[in-house]
């Protein structure tokens, strides 16, 4: 199957990178992790102006009526720049559940959503800034109580929630769209890690030569390139899948998670001790990749789902 992004999708990706590249997303993520979401919320509103939360909302509710491919394009860029916030929940999962005025508010960037889907998604991301909380198994949660719990990625603020639920028109596709978006984030984060490692290998010298000239370093980086390029077609293949959407999304999550994890390990090895410093932006992606690899279903869960679908 031959697949290419449309000119509009390429322009959309370029617009996102232009916006996020000038937004100092590292500082935004650190402020978000510290419990100061103001800059992050401003950035989310700018993303809304570009149509990110409206991608999967139908045009009758002010959305763009886009496709899962559009979603992947957006979340690759969001993962690359480590943008914090409940974006997967708002732009990928919630449009399959919300209706009426809530859906229109979501598309317009006036409403953020967060979700749980036990057991794979037991905790709600950024429940303190979300205007609506959805349990993908039970419905909308009302009279919500939230309790912050530790997260391996401080910029992913996780909450244990309590409350009562009222049934909604829950769509099972909501979970798989969430998995697809997280997979795209992983691929984007992995690409940033590769780009940063290549740039560092060109400037860091040892014994009079840039470390990127050494075969051992070249082989490490080449392995990352290979894994990312193998993951990308699975991700876009899942985005255009029909009846096999759930199976293909799980395969993409496994592959993107493995590729991003390899990119993270390699980046830390190439950067050496500087990679451990909290001030270096590398740390934002290292924790992000580790957290996203287990978010919306572990690798074991998704491997088992692929196996069950093939039997």
pLDDT confidence of residue 311? 86
Query: What's the pLDDT band for 278 if we cut at 50, 70, 90?
Result: confident
Structure tokens at 48: 């809304």
- What are the pLDDT digits (tens) for 93-144? 999 999 999 999 999 999 999 999 999 999 999 999 999 999 999 999 999 9
Asked whether the beta carbons of 183 and 155 are under 8 A apart, the reply is no
- What are the pLDDT digits (tens) for 226-269? 999 999 999 999 999 988 999 999 999 999 999 999 999 999 99
pLDDT confidence of residue 110? 97
In whole angstroms, what is the distance from residue 37 CA to residue 18 CA?
22
In 167-276, the DSSP E strands lie at 205-206, 209-210
- Residue 268 sits at the vertex; the CA angle it makes with 20 and 238, to the nearest 5 degrees, is 55
Is residue 83 pLDDT above 80, yes or no? Answer: yes
Asked whether the beta carbons of 178 and 92 are under 8 A apart, the reply is yes
In whole angstroms, what is the distance from residue 308 CA to residue 305 CA?
5
The per-residue DSSP string of 84-144 comes to -SSHIIIIIIGGGT--HHHHHHHHTTS--EEEEBTTTB-SEETTTT-SEEEETTTEEEEEE
Number of Cβ atoms within 10 Å of the Cβ of 203: 9
Query: What's the pLDDT band for 3 if we cut at 50, 70, 90?
Result: confident
- What are the pLDDT digits (tens) for 64-74? 999 999 999 99
- Average pLDDT rounded to a whole number, residues 11-34: 97
- What are the pLDDT digits (tens) for 182-230? 999 999 999 999 999 999 999 999 899 999 999 999 999 999 999 999 9
Phi, psi torsion values for 171, nearest 5 degrees: -115, 125
Look at 284 and 278; give whichever has higher pLDDT.
Answer: 284
Is residue 170 pLDDT above 70, yes or no? Answer: no
**Cβ-Cβ contacts under 8 Å for 78 (sequence gap 6 or more):** 16, 20, 47, 52, 87, 184, 185, 188
Structure tokens at 53: 């939360």
pLDDT confidence of residue 166? 87
Q: Mean pLDDT over all residues of the chain?
A: 95
């Amino acid at each position: 199957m031959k697949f290419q992004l449309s000119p509009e999708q390429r322009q959309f990706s370029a617009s996102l990178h232009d916006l996020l590249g000038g937004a100092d997303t590292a500082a935004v993520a650190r402020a978000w992790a510290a419990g100061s979401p103001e800059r992050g919320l401003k950035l989310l509103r700018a993303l809304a102006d570009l149509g990110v939360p409206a991608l999967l909302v139908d045009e009758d509710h002010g959305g763009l009526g886009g496709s899962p491919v559009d979603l992947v394009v957006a979340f690759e860029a969001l993962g690359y720049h480590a943008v914090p916030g409940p974006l997967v929940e708002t732009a990928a999962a919630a449009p399959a559940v919300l209706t009426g005025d809530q859906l229109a508010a979501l598309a317009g960037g006036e409403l953020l959503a967060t979700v749980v889907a036990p057991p794979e998604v037991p905790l709600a991301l950024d429940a303190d800034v979300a205007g609506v909380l959805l349990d993908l198994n039970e419905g909308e949660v009302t009279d919500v109580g939230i309790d912050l719990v530790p997260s391996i990625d401080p910029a992913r603020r996780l909450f244990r929630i309590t409350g009562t639920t009222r049934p909604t028109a829950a769509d099972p596709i909501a979970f798989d769209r969430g998995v697809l978006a997280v997979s795209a984030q992983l691929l984007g984060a992995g690409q940033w890690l590769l780009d940063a490692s290549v740039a560092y290998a060109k400037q860091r010298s040892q014994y009079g030569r840039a470390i990127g000239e050494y075969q051992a370093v070249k082989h490490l980086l080449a392995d990352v390139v290979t894994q990312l390029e193998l993951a990308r077609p699975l991700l876009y293949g899942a985005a255009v899948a029909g009846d096999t959407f759930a199976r293909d999304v799980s395969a993409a999550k496994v592959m993107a998670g493995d590729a991003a994890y390899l990119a993270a390990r390699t980046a830390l090895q190439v950067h050496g001790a500087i990679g451990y410093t909290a001030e270096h932006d590398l740390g934002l992606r290292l924790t992000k990749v580790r957290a996203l690899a287990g978010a919306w279903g572990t690798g074991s869960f998704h491997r088992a789902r692929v196996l069950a679908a093939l039997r």
